[in-house]
Structure 1
Amino acid sequence: METTRTTEAAQASTNPFPKIISVDDHTVEPPGVWRDRLPAKYRDTGPRIVRAPLKEMTFLGGRFAPVMGGPGDDGPIGDWWVYEDLHRPLTRLDTAVGYDRDEIRLEIITYEQMRPGSYDVPQRLADMDVNHVQSALCFPTFPRFCGQTFTEAKDRELGLLGVKAYNDWMVEEWCGPAAHGRLVPLTLVPLWDPELAAAEVRRNAARGVRAVAFSEIPPHLGLPSVHTDDWDPFLAACDETGTVIAMHIGSSSKMPSTSADAPPAVGSTITFANCCFSMVDWLMSGKFERFPNLKVMYAEGQIGWIPYILERADVVWEENRGWGGVADKVHRPPSELFAGHVYGCFFDDAFGLRNLDDIGVPNVLYETDYPHSDSTWPKSREVGEAQMGHLDADVVERIVRGNAIELLGLTKDGLWPGPGGPR
């Protein structure tokens, strides 16, 4: 793949490469997100930053296991998010851009050792400029990709306040006036209560939010599957408000792996697997027929695997309808449902782009994954030109920005029109 990223775009079109709208970047929350927004009685128990040593940290079999030290313990010093029993350190993998790939290791860091664009809006916009990116939708870090941190918390009242505090920060500050409409809000919901989740979707939709994070495989979090009716209040709210359900790899808190001792490289190669399983769940759930305006997207899942899964799903739907358990709720071929409801997201997938006709141009979105270790920053434009050089200019325009504008309700210029949008 490295040759793909560095190959000269000999076939590139003479048309200028469109300004990128990235549908999967990440924010590292500043230390005051919850401290500044929670009621006073929770400021010592809600999420907060503590500087402490690291005793040990492993990432094997898809499981991240850090151990925080105490006063007097040896070990590298870093910043930790502390919340109830959770001790979660900031690591180099949270913000790796700007480092040589051979220098990126699983190590603890402080905010001072972090690229400022990870958490500071003006610095983020500057890094977006360097990378030919106009606008970006950002997933969380400490709450995890769909708010699992709050879902797992014991105190539900505090958990709900934590979700709302994050959303207020996301809408009012991260995507606030200083962002000039270039940062697009992605909010969280209290996953433990679909009625509360629906209310939070509507609260944020009223202030211009059109994307909400959700788990790729909810049962991995101890939550109902999409085959039940439990999620219907939440799905109805998304359907009614035009809110896109965004699912990031790892949003089930269970990254794909093969064994408890498999190195991270194994899981990193097959990160798309949960997206694959999740998409089949949704296509066979009947939800797209019950909620006709529902849209889902898979962040960082890449796209090369999609054609075969659609082919297989259609065969199963057609040939196994007698015993497959979906004939009474899935009335159209899964590939048709995909075309109207599902979006795949990629940042480096030359194979998928060679098979674009079997995926569908309207169903593909582009991303840069800033500031993670997989990110194509600061060469996302060059990577895109190399991989899309064989495509017509109008197709490149749709993939790089047009589809995102339509899906996320952005202005024709690619900006978020909400409270923090252009004036």
Structure 2
Amino acid sequence: MVRMESFPRIISVDDHTVEPSRVWQDRLPSKYREAGPRVVRAPLKEMSFVGGRFAPEMGQKGDSGPLVDWWVYEDLHRPLTRLDTAVGYAREEVRLEGITYEQMRPGSYDVRERLADMDVNHVQSALCFPTFPRFCGQTFTEARDRELGLLCVCAYNDWMVEEWCGPDAHGRLIPLALVPLWDAELAAEEVRRNAARGVRAVCFSEIPPYLGLPSIHGDAWDPFLRACEETGTVIAMHIGSSSRMPSTSKDAPPAVGSTVTFANCCFSMVDWLMSGKFDRFPGLRVMYAEGQIGWIPYILERADVVWEENRGWGGVADKVLQPPSELFAGHVYGCFFDDAFGLSNLDAIGVPNVLYETDYPHSDSTWPKSREVGEAQMGHLDAAVVERIVRGNAIELLGLTEDGLWAG
């Protein structure tokens, strides 16, 4: 039994930052500032999230509706919502509603406040995914102006490294970069630019074709994958990074999608295991954020059966040279924050392939009780196993110091 007082300091590999309002206005060339992402306060006429699709409507001055802070960029009008930052509110108070910066917990966007909230939650270090760019920078991938989009990607990465993970963070915030997904060569350049300043993780889409991009089964992504392998950069895929959350019908309530959020991770992992990329790039490593881990054992079992028994017609015999379960063990990491079933099947997943997360400041977050949740679910495990899951695996994967800090 792991006692609470000895529970390891957490390294969360899936938290989130809500970007301050001037990230791009302060970093874009002057000629692009008017066109670049900016925040305006305007009424929210209506907003829905049905069938896995988010549909807000921005009002004009004088319209009725609550005043909300909106990110405006080209034709995109994206409000800040309570689901972006729900910590500090009781579960029953978390609704689909627009908010302003003043209505969110300051730790969502302020470094010093974030560290204080990490202290409350027994968290030492955290890797943070974006909010306005979306989980792999789809906002800039979908934009019309590619030159401006590239500048926005670079500006975000500069802010992430120099400010969010800068001196005030004392090594406790771990940088996660974006890349211009529309061009694999440019993406490779951005991987190398950031790796040169110590960044060891980059966002990517769980299912690129959902974004109108090539799948990983062809060669289109090879320059990007090669850069990641050569620099030791981990490819981090968050649920929803394909801009399509799982659902069953256009009128399915959000509860349906929320229950099956792991599904895209499942599809994506099978893609990678059957792509041959891990044989071609043996140093490549990928991780799945917020997908939990309980589904992994069956998928590995089924993938091995298909690889072995359907090789005559399955289309992978000449490129997938090892059983998928062996490829998983050497290349894939799953993340969880609340998955007792997955932990009861840990032997079928592999201790070295499991990471911990707190999902701050989202509605699913276990803040401020991530330690208590972890102790309740992992109390039956040996202390050495808990240490690996809660922090040791993340230190190894992300190239952190022995103390679990980012050294830059």
Tell me which amino acid in the other structure corresponds to 1:357.
Answer: D
User: Equivalents in 2 of 1:61, 1:242: separation in Å?
Assistant: 38
Q: How many residues align?
A: 408
Secondary structure, in 3 states, of the residue corresponding to 2:223? helix
| Residue 334 (structure 1) shift | 0.1
Does 1:245 pair with 2:257? no
Correspondent of 1:168 among 145, 158, 171: 158
Q: CA RMSD in A?
A: 0.7
For residue 225 of structure 2, what is the aligned residue in structure 1?
235
Matches of 2:130 and 2:265 in 1, distance apart? 18
Q: Is the 8 A contact 1:313 1:335 kept in 2?
A: yes
Letter in 2 for 1:68: M
In the TM superposition, what whole-angstrom CA distance separates every residue of 1:7-38 from its partner, at most 9, and x where no partner exists?
A: xxxx5447700000000000000001000000
Q: Which secondary structure state, in structure 2, belongs to the residue aligned with residue 57 of structure 1?
A: strand
- Gaps in structure 2 of 5+ consecutive residues: none
| 1:70, distance to aligned residue in structure 2 (A) | 0.4
**Alpha-carbon separation, structure 2, partners of 1:49 and 1:13:** 46
Q: Is the 8 A contact 1:272 1:301 kept in 2?
A: yes
Q: Write out per-residue CA displacement over residues 371-390 of structure 1, whole angstroms, 9 at most, x where no aligned residue.
A: 00000000000000000000
Distance in 2 between the 1:12 and 1:278 partners?
Answer: 34
- In the alignment, structure 1 residue 361 sits paired with structure 2 residue 351: yes
The CA deviation string for residues 101-128 of structure 1, in whole angstroms up to 9 with x for no partner, is: 0000000000000100000000000000
Structure 1 CA distance, aligned partners of 2:287 and 2:3?
Answer: 28
Separation in 2 of the partners of 1:180 and 1:32?
23
Q: 2:89 aligned with 1:90, yes or no?
A: no
CA contact (8 A) 2:2 2:382 kept: no
Are the counterparts in 1 of residues 4 and 375 from structure 2 also a CA contact under 8 Å? no
**Distance (Å, rounded) in 2 between the aligned partners of 1:331 and 1:246:** 24
Alignment correspondent of 2:397: 407
**Conserved 8 A contact 1:21-1:366:** yes
Q: How far does the alpha carbon of each residue in 1:28-79 deviate from its partner, in whole angstroms, 9 at most, with x for none?
A: 0000100000010111110000000001100000000000000110001110
Q: Does 2:114 align with 1:124? A: yes
Q: Is the 8 A contact 2:287 2:333 kept in 1?
A: yes
Matches within 5 A, 1:18-97: 18-97=8-87
Q: Given that residues 187 and 211 in structure 1 are in contact (C-alpha distance below 8 angstroms), is that contact kept between their aligned partners in structure 2?
A: yes
Give the Cα separation in 1 of the matches to 2:170 and 2:279.
Answer: 37
- For residue 178 of structure 1, the aligned residue among 165, 168, 191 is 168
Q: Distance in 1 between matches of 2:113 and 2:322?
A: 47
Out of 321, 330, 335, the residue aligned to residue 325 of structure 2 is: 335
CA distance in 2, matches of 1:46, 1:66: 20
The one-letter amino acid of 1:240's match is: E
> What corresponds to 1:202 in structure 2?
192
Q: Does 1:149 align with 2:143?
A: no
Q: Conserved in 2, the CA contact under 8 Å of 1:13 and 1:390?
A: no
- C-alpha separation between the residues in 2 aligned to 1:210 and 1:236? 14
Query: CA 1:150/1:248 → structure 2, altered by over 3 Å: closer, same or farther?
Result: same
Instruction: Indicate conservation of the 8 Å contact 2:290/2:337, yes or no.
Output: yes
After superposing on structure 2, the runs of 4+ consecutive aligned residues of structure 1 that deviate more than 6 Å are none
Other structure's SS at 1:32 match: coil
For the residues of structure 2 that align with 1:172 and 1:233, how far apart are their CA atoms? 26
Aligned to 2:178: 188
Matching residue within 209, 215, 220 for 1:225: 215
